C-alpha cells in the first residue's frame, strides 16, 4: 500500500479515511492491494456497505466504502465499466473487491474505468468476514465522531472560561479563529460587521478579508466552504429571531464539520453574551436618561450635576454644554431591546462628532436625551447637524421607526453652563413633543418653536379650539366639501410672508389661479389677507389646529 498518505482518523470530518480503513485488522487481514486511486486514499469513509447486486449504486448516498465479492459486477466489460462509473458518480469513498470464486483477478475493464474515474479500487487476496469488517470500521467512525465532538466541546470550554475570566465577544471570536485557522466575523442579521478576529492570507487584517468577500456582497452567497451560524435572539418578545451571524471564511485552510460544530457551540455562548450586554447597555442608557430627566426637572442642582455626570463618564470640563432631545413617534415601538440597540448605534455615530457626549434614554416618554460638551458656542450649528444625523441614523439602525409613522423629532437647545443645561433640557423635551406633526426637518432650534410650545400647553383649553374655529373654521368646512382645498394655499402663502410669486411657484400655480384662490379665502373668512393682525391670527390658528381637539 501507499504509505505516503495520512492514516490518522478523520476527526476534522465525519468519518475515517480510506487509508485508515485499510489499516484496521479486518481489511488488513485480507492482504489489500491498491489497484487504482492510490492518491485518493485520504477520502472520508462515512459508512460501510456490502452488497452483490448490479444496481447497488442506487442504494448509496456517497462516502461509503463498498465491499463486494464481484457477483454484481456483470460478466461483460460494458457492464463492468457502467458499474464502476455509477459508483464514481454517486461519490463513494472506495470499492473493495474480494478475490475468490467470482474473480481470481480483477477484469481490465473494471480497473481501467476505476483509474479513469480516479476511484480508489482495492482487491483483497484473502477472504475476510464482511460483517466483522463493517463492525470494525463503524466503531472507528463512531469513535471519530466522539473525538470530533470532544474537540468542539474543548472550544466551548475555553470560550466559557474566557467569559468567566472577564472576556467578551472578541475573546470568543479569537478562540474560534485560532481553532479554525481562519478569520471569524460576527455580523448583524442584515450583514453589517460587528466584530472580526483572526488573520487572512499572509497575515492580512481580517477587515480586509471581510471587505473583499463580504462587505459589498452581503446579499450574495458566501464563498464555497464557508460556515455561517445564526446567533439566536432569544428573550421575551423576540420570537426566536436572529440577533447576529457567525461567519467563518476558508481563506487560509479548508473548514470541516468540526469547525461548524464549534461555531454552533460558540453561537450559543455569544447569544448569552449579547443578551447580557444588551441588558446592561439598556440599563446604563436608562440610568443616564433618569439622570438627565432629573436634571431637566430640577431634581439635580446645577452644583451637583457636574460630579454626577463625571461618574457617568461625561467630562466636558469648562466647555459650554449643549442639550439635545429626540422624540420618536411611538414610545412603544422599540420592543425586544430596541432602546439598547439605539443607544449603542447613536453612541457609535456620535463618536465621530469628536466632542464629549452623555446619552440617555427614557422609553416611557419615547425620548433620547443628550448633553454635549462644545469647544465654543460658535460650533453649535455644526455640531447640531452632526448630532441630529447621528440620532436619526441610530433610529433607523435600531429598527425603531415603523412604516407609516412620522420621523423622529430632534430639538436643539441653547449652549451654556449647567444651570442653562437644566432649563435647556426641559425646554427641548417639551418642544420635541410640541413639534410632532410639523414639516420634517433634520433638527429644530428650540427658540424658534416657542409659539408652538405655547399652543401645545394650551391644547386642552376650550378657548384654543374656539379660537381655531373662529379663525379658519369656514375654510375647514369648505375643504371637507369642495376641491381644491384652500387651507394648503393659505399655509403656503403665510409661510412666504405674503409673497405671491414664491407662493405660486411652490404650489405650481399660475398667478391668476393663485389670485382667485386668495380672493376666495378672503371671501370665506370675511377678512383682508393684507391686514397684519389678520395674518397673525391666521398664522396662530394654523399652528394651533394640530393641538386643538
Which domains, and CATH codes, for the chain? 16-141 (3.40.1390.20), 167-276 (3.30.450.40), 301-451 (3.30.70), 462-544 (1.10.10.2840)
Query: How much is the average pLDDT of 397-418?
Result: 81
- Output the nine-digit C-alpha cell for 459: 391644547
Residues 518-530: pLDDT tens digits? 999 988 988 888 8
Beta bridge partners of 97: 68, 123
Q: Is the pTM of this model over 0.75?
A: no
**How many angstroms separate the CA atoms of 58 and 61, rounded?**
8
The closest of 237, 167, 222, 157 to 191, measured between CA atoms, is 222
Residues 451-501: pLDDT tens digits? 888 888 888 888 888 888 898 889 888 988 888 999 989 988 888 888 989
- pLDDT number for residue 37: 92
The closest of 301, 299, 307, 349 to 324, measured between CA atoms, is 349
CA 323, chain centre distance (Å): 31
**How many angstroms separate the CA atoms of 29 and 6, rounded?**
20
What secondary structure does DSSP assign to 359-373, as a single string? EEEETTTTEEEEEEE
Is the per-residue pLDDT at 15 higher than 80?
Answer: no
Residues 317-361: pLDDT tens digits? 778 999 999 988 654 444 445 677 777 777 777 777 778 888 888
The closest of 163, 202, 203, 159 to 179, measured between CA atoms, is 159
Is the per-residue pLDDT at 108 higher than 90?
Answer: yes
- Per the CB < 8 A criterion, the answer to whether 359 and 345 are in contact is no
- pLDDT number for residue 14: 54
Integer angstrom CA distances of residue 266 from 177, 230, 248, 361: 11, 10, 12, 31
- Output the nine-digit C-alpha cell for 85: 462509473
- Per the CB < 8 A criterion, the answer to whether 128 and 27 are in contact is yes
**How many angstroms separate the CA atoms of 464 and 449, rounded?**
18
Is the per-residue pLDDT at 409 higher than 80?
Answer: yes
Amino acid at each position: 500500500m501507499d504509505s505516503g498518505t495520512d492514516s490518522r482518523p478523520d476527526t476534522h470530518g465525519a468519518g475515517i479515511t480510506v487509508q485508515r480503513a485499510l489499516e484496521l485488522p479486518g481489511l488488513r487481514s485480507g492482504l489489500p492491494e491498491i489497484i487504482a486511486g492510490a492518491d485518493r486514499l485520504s477520502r472520508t469513509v462515512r459508512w460501510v456497505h456490502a452488497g452483490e447486486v448490479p444496481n447497488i449504486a442506487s442504494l448509496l448516498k456517497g462516502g461509503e466504502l463498498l465491499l463486494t465479492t464481484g457477483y454484481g459486477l456483470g460478466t461483460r466489460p460494458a457492464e463492468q465499466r457502467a458499474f464502476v462509473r455509477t459508483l464514481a458518480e454517486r461519490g463513494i469513498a472506495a470499492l473493495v473487491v474480494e478475490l475468490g470464486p467470482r474473480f481470481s483477478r480483477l477484469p481490465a475493464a473494471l480497473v481501467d474505468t476505476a483509474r479513469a474515474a480516479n476511484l480508489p479500487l482495492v482487491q483483497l487476496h484473502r477472504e475476510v468476514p464482511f460483517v466483522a469488517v463493517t463492525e470494525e470500521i463503524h466503531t472507528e467512525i463512531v469513535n471519530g465522531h466522539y473525538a470530533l465532538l470532544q474537540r468542539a466541546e474543548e472550544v466551548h470550554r475555553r470560550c466559557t472560561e474566557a467569559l468567566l475570566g472577564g472576556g467578551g465577544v472578541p475573546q470568543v471570536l479569537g478562540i474560534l479563529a485560532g481553532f479554525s485557522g481562519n478569520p471569524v466575523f460576527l455580523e448583524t442579521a442584515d450583514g453589517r460587521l460587528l466584530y472580526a478576529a483572526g488573520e487572512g492570507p499572509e497575515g492580512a487584517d481580517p477587515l480586509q478579508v471581510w471587505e473583499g468577500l463580504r462587505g459589498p456582497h452581503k446579499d450574495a452567497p458566501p464563498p464555497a466552504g464557508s460556515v455561517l451560524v445564526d446567533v439566536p435572539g432569544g428573550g421575551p418578545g423576540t420570537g426566536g429571531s436572529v440577533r447576529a451571524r457567525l461567519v467563518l471564511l476558508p481563506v487560509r485552510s479548508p473548514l470541516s464539520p468540526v469547525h461548524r460544530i464549534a461555531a454552533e457551540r460558540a453561537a450559543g455562548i455569544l447569544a448569552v453574551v449579547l443578551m447580557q450586554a444588551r441588558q446592561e447597555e439598556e440599563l446604563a442608557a436608562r440610568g443616564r436618561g433618569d439622570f438627565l430627566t432629573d436634571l431637566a426637572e430640577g431634581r439635580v442642582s446645577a452644583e451637583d450635576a457636574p460630579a454626577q455626570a463625571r461618574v457617568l463618564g461625561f467630562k466636558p470640563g469648562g466647555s459650554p454644554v449643549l442639550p439635545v432631545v429626540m422624540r420618536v413617534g411611538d414610545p412603544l415601538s422599540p420592543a425586544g431591546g430596541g432602546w439598547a440597540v439605539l443607544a449603542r448605534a447613536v453612541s457609535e455615530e456620535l463618536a465621530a462628532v469628536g466632542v464629549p457626549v452623555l446619552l440617555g434614554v427614557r422609553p416611557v416618554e419615547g425620548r433620547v436625551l443628550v448633553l454635549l460638551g462644545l469647544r465654543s458656542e460658535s460650533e453649535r450649528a455644526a455640531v447640531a447637524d452632526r448630532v441630529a444625523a447621528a440620532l436619526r441614523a441610530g433610529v433607523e439602525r435600531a429598527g425603531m421607526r415603523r412604516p407609516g409613522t412620522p420621523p423622529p423629532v430632534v430639538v436643539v437647545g441653547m449652549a451654556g453652563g449647567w444651570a442653562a443645561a437644566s432649563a435647556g433640557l426641559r425646554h427641548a423635551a417639551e418642544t420635541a413633543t410640541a413639534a410632532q406633526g410639523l414639516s420634517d426637518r433634520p433638527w429644530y432650534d428650540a427658540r424658534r418653536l416657542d409659539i408652538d410650545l405655547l399652543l401645545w400647553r394650551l391644547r386642552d383649553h376650550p378657548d384654543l379650539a374656539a379660537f381655531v374655529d373662529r379663525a379658519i373654521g369656514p375654510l375647514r368646512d369648505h375643504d371637507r366639501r369642495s376641491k381644491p382645498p384652500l387651507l394648503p394655499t393659505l399655509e403656503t402663502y403665510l409661510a412666504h410672508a405674503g409673497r405671491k410669486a414664491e407662493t405660486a411657484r411652490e404650489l405650481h400655480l399660475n398667478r391668476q389661479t393663485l389670485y382667485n384662490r386668495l380672493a376666495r379665502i378672503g371671501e370665506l373668512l370675511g377678512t383682508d389677507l393684507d391686514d397684519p393682525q389678520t395674518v397673525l391670527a391666521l398664522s396662530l390658528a394654523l399652528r394651533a389646529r394640530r393641538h386643538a381637539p
